[in-house]
Amino acid sequence: MSDDINKGRRNFLIGATTAVGTAGVVGVAVPFLGSWNPSAKALAAGAPIKIDISKLQPGDMLGPIPAWRDRPIFVIRRTDAMLGLLTQNTSRLADPKSEEPQQPAYAQNDTRSIKPELLVLVGLCTHLGCSPKPRPVVEPTDFDPDWQGGFYCPCHGSKFDLAGRVYSGVPAPTNLEVPPYRYESESVIVIGEDEGTA
């Protein structure tokens, strides 16, 4: 009889110890595995972010606006009509060939992008860091009767075209910045990494 009682106690103690040990392992493993993901502080410091562009329609800007290094990132899928405007009226631009170092070498072209249809910009005016408003529609506006679409900063009147190139005679000194980025797939881009660093 005492052997049956001892076996029961032993089995209970083994089961209880196993349960407590398993809970302890899980309790240690969860924070450990969680530490592999970049923290909010690391993301703010510049850890790369991934953006899904699969649902982005031609002519639309991605929303909600993602942030990288605490800066807004504008992602716009341009239409063929928008792309056609990039070679018109370039005499109005201060840096039409993107000669100032505001973009990686792979974006130093008329579209300032890897793939012409997808524009990726840091959404901060190069004047005082305000956030310019996307104004993609070609129509006369109160700030430009010959507006060809682009970005307008209402704070001080800076204007940028649909490639983020700055107009002449506005407060902003340079084109909008193109951050380093790469395509992970047709539907995902990684902001903060170039092709060479992947």
Domain count within the chain:
2
The tokens describing 53, both together, are: 């562009």
d(CA 60, CA 77): 6
Mean pLDDT value of segment 76-104? 92
d(CA 146, CA 52): 34
Asked if the model's pLDDT at residue 35 lies above 70, the reply is no
Asked if the model's pLDDT at residue 198 lies above 50, the reply is no
Q: Are residues 119 and 21 in the same domain?
A: no
Please provide the DSSP assignment of 172-196 as one string: --SPPPPPPEEESSSSEEEET--GG
Q: Are residues 27 and 120 in the same domain?
A: no
> pTM for the whole thing?
0.74
DSSP state of 3: H
Asked if residues 159 and 144 have their Cβ atoms less than 8 Å apart, the reply is yes
The tokens describing 125, both together, are: 């005016």
CATH code, 192: 2.102.10.10
Q: Are residues 58 and 19 in the same domain?
A: no
Q: Are residues 30 and 47 in the same domain?
A: no
Question: Which carries the bigger pLDDT value, residue 179 or residue 2?
Answer: 179
Task: Give the residue numbers spanning the domain of 18.
Answer: 1-37
Q: Are residues 2 and 46 in the same domain?
A: no
Q: What is the pLDDT of residues 107-137, one digit of tens each?
A: 999 999 999 999 999 999 999 888 899 998 8
Asked if residues 151 and 177 have their Cβ atoms less than 8 Å apart, the reply is no
